[in-house]
Amino acid sequence: MRGRLLASLVLAAGPAASDPVLSLPIDCELGETCHIQQFVDRDPGAGARDFICGSLSYDGHKGTDFALPTLRAMQQGVNVRAAAPGIVQGTRNSMPDQLYTSDTAAQVDGRECGNGVVLKHPDGWETQYCHLRQGSVRVSSGDIVDAGTVLGQVGLSGKTEFPHLHLSVRKGGQVVDPFDTTDRAQCGQGGSSLWADMPDYVPGALLDVGFASQVPEYDTILAGDAAQNVLSDQSPGLVLYGLAYGGLKGDLLRIEIAGPDGPFGGQQVALERNRARFFRAYGKRLTADRWPSGAYTGTVSLLRNGQVISQKSTTALIQ
């Protein structure tokens, strides 16, 4: 709801007659199975701001990142589609899917896009699709494609630390923000959009929540392998975690657990700085012989300025 309210403030005109009209370039449901984590950086200096002057960008970012919540979602296969009709200008398909680290930097140097596709459109326009899954690219240079043609699948190739599609839009070689094509960000007022159906702007949200018998490792959460739906009544601990994106300094993450006998416990943690992706967890150690058996419900809420902007719940069975 919060995202839709913010989106209603973006008074974006449609594209000019000669501009491409873009459709969603990824097979997912925004706000449910994927999200836009970062937009084009509209700050001309050393800082960063997105097209509504928000914080969902970083210095020098040249595209829109359509992200998946976990590596498991990537492994299930999510198609990347042409955002507009065009001609394939170039492809890459052989780079491995791996998290970008200092150890892999040399392999990626000069190939930060990873596996990808570049489409050429009329009047000097181009779209580029980066970080595709190794071996998934289905088109070749010279192919003519329609809007919606499957180009490949979302992957983890190139310079990236989470599975996503990076979409760059250019005209005459210059980056264009498809959410606001004007030279300077108008903070969501009066810009011109290239989208056929403007995606909602969501300022941050929960991506995943789950129960575990101990505080999970961050890599396990990012992989999508941390959640346990059934736990033993002698598990060493009972922990609820939440994974989120778009956190701002001062945001609160509220974690609450209810058991078969009523409230179990909870806590509220404030973010000490802005975080692109982050997780927090709360739980208790087993101090009795066993946990009460039954269903446990966990709810994680992201609060900003005293209001809940995102919330997710989950259940686990102790037996």
Catalogue all structural domains in the chain, each as residue range(s) with its CATH number.
Answer: 2-192 (2.70.70.10), 205-318 (2.60.40.2550)
pTM value is 0.90
Distance CA 65, CA 219 (A): 20
- pLDDT at residue 190, rounded to an integer: 65
Element (H, E) at 6: helix 2-7
Question: Each residue of 34-59: pLDDT tens digit?
Answer: 999 999 999 988 989 999 999 999 99
Res. 18 pLDDT band, cuts 50 70 90: confident
- pLDDT at residue 183, rounded to an integer: 75
Which residue, among 250, 288, 293, has the nearest Cα to 268 in the 3D structure?
250
Specify whether the CB–CB gap between 129 and 117 falls below 8 A.
Answer: yes
Res. 67 pLDDT band, cuts 50 70 90: very high
Residue 116 burial (C-beta neighbours within 10 Å; 0-12, 13-18, 19+) = buried
Distance CA 195, CA 19 (A): 10
Residue 63's contacts (CB-CB under 8 Å, 6 or more residues apart) are: 40, 128, 130, 166, 167, 168, 169, 175
Which carries the bigger pLDDT value, residue 13 or residue 248? 248
Res. 10 pLDDT band, cuts 50 70 90: very low
Q: Provide the 10 A C-beta neighbour count for residue 37.
A: 22
Encoded amino acid at 48, one letter: A
Instruction: Tell me if residue 122 falls in helix, strand or coil.
Output: helix
Question: Each residue of 139-182: pLDDT tens digit?
Answer: 999 999 999 999 999 999 999 999 999 999 999 999 999 999 98
In percent, the amount of the chain with pLDDT more than 70 equals 93
The answer to whether residue 9 scores a pLDDT higher than 60 is no
Which pair of structure tokens corresponds to residue 73?
Answer: 């979602």
Element (H, E) at 106: helix 105-108
The answer to whether residue 6 scores a pLDDT higher than 50 is no
Element (H, E) at 240: strand 237-247
- pLDDT at residue 17, rounded to an integer: 59
Res. 189 pLDDT band, cuts 50 70 90: confident
Specify whether the CB–CB gap between 298 and 257 falls below 8 A.
Answer: yes
**Interval 76-101 mean pLDDT:** 97
**Interval 266-289 mean pLDDT:** 96
Encoded amino acid at 203, one letter: P
How does DSSP classify residue 147? T
